[in-house]
Amino acid sequence: MKKGTLYILSTLALAVFASSLYGKDQKLGSQLPEKVTLSLSSLQDKIKGGWAGQTIGCTFGGPTEFQFKGTMIHDYQKIVWYDNYIKDLFISDPGLYDDVYMDLTFVEVLEKYGFNAPADSFANSFAHHDFKLWHANQAARYNILNGMMPPASGNWMNNPHANDIDFMIEADFIGLMSPGMINASSEICDRVGHITNSGDGWYGGVFVAAMYSTAFISDNVDFIVSHALKSIPEKSKFYSAISDVIKWHNQYPNDWKQCWFEFEKSHTSEVGCPEGAYNAINIDASVNAAYVVMGLLYGKKDFFQTINITTRCGQDSDSNPAVCAGILGAILGYDKIPPFWKPAIEMVQNLKFPYSDLTLNQIYALSSKHALKLILQNGGELTNGQITINIQKPETVKSEQSFGGMYPTYELLVRKDFLDESIKIDFTGNGIVVLGNVKSQCGVAKSDFVALLDVYIDGVKVEQVKMPYDYIVRKYDIFYKYMLANSDHKLEIRWINQNPDFRITMKSYVVYADSPANPVKPY
């Protein structure tokens, strides 16, 4: 066999590998071999393929991100690519790469503090960076900077975006350092993922990391997906979403669009993210992970088709192809990524990645170093350039649910500036999220101003909210409160340090109740 090819150490694994190699459609055994051996060069090539694929996929889908919400990107709509593309976007749109530079930040923490680094080390590192963040990441950053550390920072009671995609698109580094060691991957996910997410949002990262981990020991995409799903509790919404994609792929093996339509009908109602509960945007991890799986299953290891299908599923259509291209890059290895894509990635491999002091070439090396170290810590061996990995059977992670007993029942679009009066809302339900931000009256780009808001529910002060004007440290939503008594409530928000140079803009608010709203009847 050629250098870098996997050396499989059991008859069962050889059969699995051969069936995937020749494209035979057969069910795989429920067990993997106890050990797998591969060359050090193969390990490094797969890790490089994962990072390069992630960067390529993010760039490919970049211009389409949240431009297609609840609709697919039709075939006639062109998605561009050219050799200078990644380099151009490094300069013109560095914030595009949030799902990669967050990974790099966590890799640096591992290098600095070791594999036993506590969650607080990861949390403080990203919270104090000056890069742009959104949704669960930004809500967690605000929590951390204001004294709320993980896992509370990512818990849904403190983070309205807990089910969002954030950890799912930042768990790549965990899978890439955990080849074949799916449970070691889940343990790191427990520490890192709960900084920003809980429930399905956390499961998204566990699942993605598990697919990466499995990509080192099998090149059968169907097996990789189903094997990784064993880490997720079967009763979760996330498990149901992915298992249904697998079912519809089996039912419509040559029609990804039919699979997409079936999924849209069954799984795309938004509960958590207040921006999506009554709008077309859906950043839920279970939904976007399903699009990743569609690309992997229907792409059939063709690099272009894989990222093209995932991108055309819509919604977070830069992060999703980043994940699926990263997983496919780990399956194929960098050397087998088609030459068409390589000029763009090779132009930037020695440039500092946006918002990082590391280059991609440095990341390839660091990630390989960490993978080898974790392999050895888990009983593996390195002998004469050959690495033997102790393969772990997936253990299901703990069960947790975000937004249990919370159902969106009402949204009011306000779009009103508040200068000297208080925000007053009467609502009936068991929770509310008020969306908005601080804006400048005089157009200043930078200011340390922090609005102080006293919040009263039913006449009782429940919190003083700090609302920074600075975009990097901003509070993502003005106020949220869950698990109230399901009854009539009066909410009042008083701005106590009013400043004529600023205003509070309330965009909307979403009300929750302990049971679903009745369908609207025309008469």
In this predicted model, what pLDDT tens digit does every residue of 306-336 receive, in sequence order? 999 999 999 999 999 999 999 999 999 999 9
pLDDT at site 445: 82
**Structural domain contains residue 401:** no
- φ/ψ of residue 93, rounded to 5: -145, 60
Are both 446 and 364 inside the same structural domain? no
Euclidean distance between CA atoms 39 and 49, whole angstroms: 15
- Give yes or no: residues 243 and 285 share one domain: yes
Residue 137, in any domain of the structure = yes
Residues 6 or more apart whose CB falls under 8 angstroms from that of 293 comprise: 225, 242, 245, 246
Complete DSSP assignment for 121-168: HHHHHHHTS-S---HHHHHHHHHHHTT--TTGGGSTTT-TTTTBSTTT
Q: Last residue of some domain: 347, 381, 415? A: 381
How far is Cα 155 from Cα 167, in angstroms, rounded to an integer?
13
H/E stretch holding 111? helix 98-113
Does the pLDDT at position 29 exceed 50? no
285 neighbors 293 (Cβ within 8 angstroms): no
- The tally of domains found in the chain comes to 2
Rounded distance between C-alpha atoms, residue 220 and residue 17, angstroms: 7
Angle at 450 between CA 448 and CA 455, to 5 degrees: 175
Residue 437: φ, ψ to 5°: -160, 180
Give me the CATH number covering residue 489.
2.60.120.260
Q: Which 3 state secondary structure label does DSSP give 87?
A: helix
- Cis peptide bond upstream of 151, omega within 30: yes
DSSP secondary structure of 434-500:
EEEEEEESS--S----EEEEEEEETTEEEEEEEEESSGGG--SSSEEE-S--SEEEEEEEEESS--T
User: How distant, in Å, are the alpha carbons of 118, 196, 200, 278, 457 from that of 162?
Assistant: 20, 7, 8, 17, 23
297 within a domain of the structure (yes/no): yes
Task: Using the CB atoms, write b or e for 175-195: b if 16+ within 10 Å.
Answer: bbbbbbbbbbbbebbbbbbbb
Co-location of 227 and 304 in the same domain: yes
CA distance 187 to 175: 11
Residue 311 · residue 321 · CB < 8 Å: yes
- Measure the CA–CA gap between 152 and 140, rounded to whole angstroms: 9
In a domain, 155, yes or no: yes
How far is it, in rounded angstroms, from Cα 121 to Cα 347?
33
* Paired tokens of 70: 């609840």
> 325-375 pLDDT, tens per residue?
999 999 999 999 999 999 999 999 999 999 999 999 999 999 999 999 999
Of the three residues 346, 381, 416, the one that is the final residue of a domain is: 381
DSSP character for 351? S
- 423 with 369, same domain? no
Reply yes or no on whether the pLDDT at 26 is more than 90: no
How confident is the model over 370-387, as a mean pLDDT? 97
The whole-model pTM stands at: 0.93
Contact indicator for 282, 268 with CB cutoff of 8 Å: yes
The values of phi and psi at residue 75, to 5°, are: -60, -30
For the cut 80, the answer to whether the pLDDT of residue 18 exceeds it is: no
53 and 140: one domain?
yes
80 and 208 assigned to the same domain: yes
For residue 62, count other CB atoms closer than 10 A to its CB: 22
Closest CA to 455 of 442, 440, 467: 467
Do 200 and 292 lie in one domain? The reply is yes
- CATH code of 145's domain: 1.10.4080.10
- Dump pLDDT digits (tens) for 40-79: 999 999 999 999 999 999 999 999 999 999 999 999 999 9
- pLDDT attached to residue 20: 37
Q: Are 69 and 315 in contact (CB under 8 A)?
A: yes
Neighbours of 2 (CB within 10 A): 6
The parent domain of residue 438 ranges over 407-513
| Residue 87 and residue 154 share a domain | yes
User: pLDDT at residue 100 above 90?
Assistant: yes
- CA–CA separation, 57 and 507 (whole Å): 33
Q: How far is it, in rounded angstroms, from Cα 503 to Cα 436?
A: 11
> Do 373 and 456 belong together in one domain?
no
> Does residue 21 fall inside a structural domain?
no
- Using the predicted structure, report yes or no on whether residue 33 has a pLDDT greater than 80: yes
In a domain? residue 10: no
The tokens for 348 are: 């930037």
What's the rounded Cα separation, in Å, for the pair 213 and 181? 6
Per-residue pLDDT, 250? 98
DSSP state of 320: H
374 and 413 share one domain = no
| Same domain? 426 vs 294 | no
Query: Could you tell me the CA-to-CA distances from 59 to 100, 308, 311 in Å, in that order?
Result: 11, 12, 11
Does residue 395 fall inside a structural domain?
no
300 and 414 fall within a common domain: no
For residue 31, name the pLDDT band (cuts at 50, 70, 90): low
Give domain status of residue 27, yes or no.
no
Rounded CA gap, 431 and 47, in Å? 44
Which positions ≥6 away from 369 have C-beta within 8 Å?
Answer: none
d(CA 89, CA 60): 11
User: CA nearest 181: which of 329, 328, 331, 35?
Assistant: 35
d(CA 435, CA 415): 10
Tens-place pLDDT, residues 256-313: 999 999 999 999 999 999 999 999 999 999 999 999 999 999 999 999 999 999 999 9
- Asked whether the beta carbons of 388 and 181 are under 8 A apart, the reply is no
- Average pLDDT of the chain to the nearest whole number: 93
